[in-house]
Structure 1
Amino acid sequence: MKAVRLHNYHEQPVIEEVEQPTVSGPLDVVVKIGGAGVCRTDLHVIEEQWAEKSGVQLPYTIGHENAGWVHEVGSAVTNVAVGDTVILHPTPTCELCHACRAGDDMHCADRRFPGIDSDGGMAEYLLTSARACIKLDPGTRPDDVAALADAGITAYHAVRKAAPQLPPGTVCVVNGAGGLGHIGIQTLAAMSATTSVVVDRSAEALELAGELGADHTVLADGDHVQTVLDLTGGNGAEVVLDFVAEQGAQQDAFAMTRQGGSHYVIGYGSNIDVPTIDIISTERNVIGNLVGTYNDLVELMVLAEAGKVTLHTKKYPLSKALEALADLDAGRVRGRAILVPDNA
């Protein structure tokens, strides 16, 4: 089968023929990929940012946002059958450790993360686990929902955590309206009555944000922090959802957070440099956010199938994977890039 494989860090992946995966364990599931999301994390993988944390051995297949159709199942699989349309939670888990029992399965003690620490889904087929599979309506197109498997639940997970802080009369800043941010805008509208303020350096992204229901849009032109402060009476927002968190955006996000408010760090790539006295004197919180749980993805798919969350995508054939990665890196993708295998 064809797969997008990373052979060396700081070099582009290659598209090559590799052996198709098969079932070996009782809970194994092989999925025929119908759509694979292209994520900024894929760029960070290539840049070696994940090498130490993942411990992955090169070469391997990247891609961690995957949906498709069940192709083969192990002997103990009962929740899906061959032919079912599925979206895959990005971390197949053990379901037995304390984190899994607590519903905090992205912190499973024995998890895998295909596309990060093992072969991922930028390929024609992917080996996963029954525990990662969520069965979808047969009419759902995998290439329409694939990016919800990571970008979607990452945004949803952050909004779900922040929602109790966002009753009517509050303000939430969405910092970045790209692949994750445009999903965050929609989930925010579905789960709270807060006033949303979307900040982005792209006028096109802000136009999309307005179409998706943002109450205010602010161009990141150097004066955006002051503009947000002006919109909030000089106080800042109760919550800032930072979907960028690099190139200075992470500092802006903290500056846009009011006293007693919370800065949710969702994007990554740079350090946050905040004097500790600024944290204690204002009691502002900095909260990390790692993907989301299996249940988060189940709930998000309910919103998606109800039409309350829609992915804006740009689709590429698998053979154009390098073009998709380059377009993402250059900011040419509106919403989310999706790879579609030629045989899907």
Structure 2
Amino acid sequence: MRAVQVTGYHQPLALVDVPVPEVTGPWDVIVKIGGAGVCRTDLHILEGQWAEKSQVSLPYTIGHENAGWVSAVGSAVTGVSEGDAVIVHPLITCGLCRACRFGDDVHCENNRFPGIDTAGGYAEYLKTSARSVVRIGDLQPSDVAALADAGLTAYHAAAKAARRLRAGDRCVVIGAGGLGHIGIQVLKAISPAELIVVDRNADATGLALSIGADHGVVADGGQVEEVLGLTGGKGAEVVVDFVGEGGATGEGIRMLRQAGDYHVVGYGENINVPTIDIISSEISIIGNLVGSYNDLVELMALAAQGRVTLHTAKYPLDEFQRAVDDLDAGRLRGRAILVP
């Protein structure tokens, strides 16, 4: 089968022929890929940012946002059958460790992460497990593939933020791109807060307004002051930062009110805050990884209801480089999806 692989850091990806994965264990599920999302994390992988953390051996197949159709299952699999349309949770988890038994499978002590530390879905087929697949009914895999990570991460952060937010509160969303435009829809669906979206691109803030944001602020240098003006000079109860670089972290914390929560989702720079400022304002800085299997089930329920729609640009698998380049250059609105 065709697969797009990392052959070396700071080098271009390569399209190669590799064997089709096979069922070798009772809980294995082989998915025929119908869509694979192109994520900014993939750019960070190519830059070598994940090399030490993942310890993956090169070459390997990239791609951690996957959906498709079940093509083969192990002998113990009962939840899905051949032909079922599914979205794939990004982690393969054990189900037996302490975290899994608490339902916190995103922190599974024995997890594998296709596309990060084992073969991913920039390919025609992907091997995963019965614990990782969610049936999607009539939804098309290429329409929802990026919800497997970008959507799941956005949902996880938005759901955590929504537990804090009450009617009359304000929530600032920094970044209305691939993750941000999903987070905006989730927050609108499950939270009563007034949404203020900040993005450097006016088209992105326009998209944000069209999908539920109450205010769009273009990041042209005066964004902190504009947000403070929209919040009566006090700042927002919650800031959800889907950018995490280029100065966004410092600006995001300045947009917080006393005792506010700053959710870090995007990454790329360090957070530099004097401890006295954290203590005196009693703010909380909260990290967000991906989400649990149950988070993905809930997100797909919102997608099936039409309350979360993924804006996509689709590319044939052999045009992977164009998709990566478009993402890197900021030419995308929404998510790039590779379709084998």
Q: Does structure 1 residue 222 correspond to structure 2 residue 221?
A: yes
In the alignment, the residues of structure 1 paired with residue 136 and residue 164 of structure 2 have an alpha-carbon distance, to the nearest angstrom, of 32
Structure 2: segments with no counterpart, 5+ residues: none
In the alignment, which residue of structure 1 is the partner of 2:27? Answer: 27
In the alignment, the residues of structure 2 paired with residue 336 and residue 185 of structure 1 have an alpha-carbon distance, to the nearest angstrom, of 15
In the alignment, which residue of structure 1 is the partner of 2:171? Answer: 172
In the alignment, the residues of structure 2 paired with residue 61 and residue 269 of structure 1 have an alpha-carbon distance, to the nearest angstrom, of 23
The one-letter code matched in structure 2 to 1:162 is A
In the alignment, the residues of structure 2 paired with residue 132 and residue 165 of structure 1 have an alpha-carbon distance, to the nearest angstrom, of 29
1:263-278 to 2 correspondences below 5 Å: 263-278=262-277
In the alignment, the residues of structure 1 paired with residue 52 and residue 278 of structure 2 have an alpha-carbon distance, to the nearest angstrom, of 30
The number of equivalent residue pairs is 340
The one-letter code matched in structure 2 to 1:13 is L
In the alignment, which residue of structure 1 is the partner of 2:242? Answer: 243
In the alignment, which residue of structure 2 is the partner of 1:182? Answer: 181
What secondary structure does 1:165 align onto?
A: coil
Deviations 1:269-324 (A, max 9, x none): 11111111110110010000000000000000000000000000000000111110
In the alignment, which residue of structure 2 is the partner of 1:115? Answer: 115
In the alignment, which residue of structure 2 is the partner of 1:231? Answer: 230
Task: Give the TM-score, by structure 1 length.
Answer: 0.98
What secondary structure does 2:163 align onto?
A: helix
Deviation at 1:255, TM superposition (A): 1.0
Deviation at 1:12, TM superposition (A): 1.3
Deviation at 1:164, TM superposition (A): 2.1
In the alignment, which residue of structure 2 is the partner of 1:252? Answer: 251
In the alignment, which residue of structure 2 is the partner of 1:261? Answer: 260
In the alignment, the residues of structure 2 paired with residue 170 and residue 140 of structure 1 have an alpha-carbon distance, to the nearest angstrom, of 34
1:1-344 to 2 correspondences below 5 Å: 1-137=1-137, 139-341=138-340
What secondary structure does 1:143 align onto?
A: helix
Which runs of structure 1 show a deviation greater than 2 angstroms over 4 or more consecutive aligned residues?
none
In the alignment, the residues of structure 2 paired with residue 191 and residue 98 of structure 1 have an alpha-carbon distance, to the nearest angstrom, of 29
In the alignment, the residues of structure 2 paired with residue 228 and residue 191 of structure 1 have an alpha-carbon distance, to the nearest angstrom, of 22
In the alignment, the residues of structure 1 paired with residue 163 and residue 127 of structure 2 have an alpha-carbon distance, to the nearest angstrom, of 37
Task: Give the TM-score, by structure 2 length.
Answer: 0.99
Deviations 1:29-60 (A, max 9, x none): 11000000000000011111111111111100
Deviations 1:227-267 (A, max 9, x none): 00111111111000000001111111111111100000000
In the alignment, the residues of structure 1 paired with residue 158 and residue 200 of structure 2 have an alpha-carbon distance, to the nearest angstrom, of 22
The one-letter code matched in structure 1 to 2:317 is L
In the alignment, the residues of structure 2 paired with residue 216 and residue 12 of structure 1 have an alpha-carbon distance, to the nearest angstrom, of 39
Deviations 1:168-207 (A, max 9, x none): 1100000000000000000000001100000000111111
In the alignment, the residues of structure 1 paired with residue 52 and residue 234 of structure 2 have an alpha-carbon distance, to the nearest angstrom, of 40
Identity of aligned residues (%): 64
What secondary structure does 2:78 align onto?
A: coil
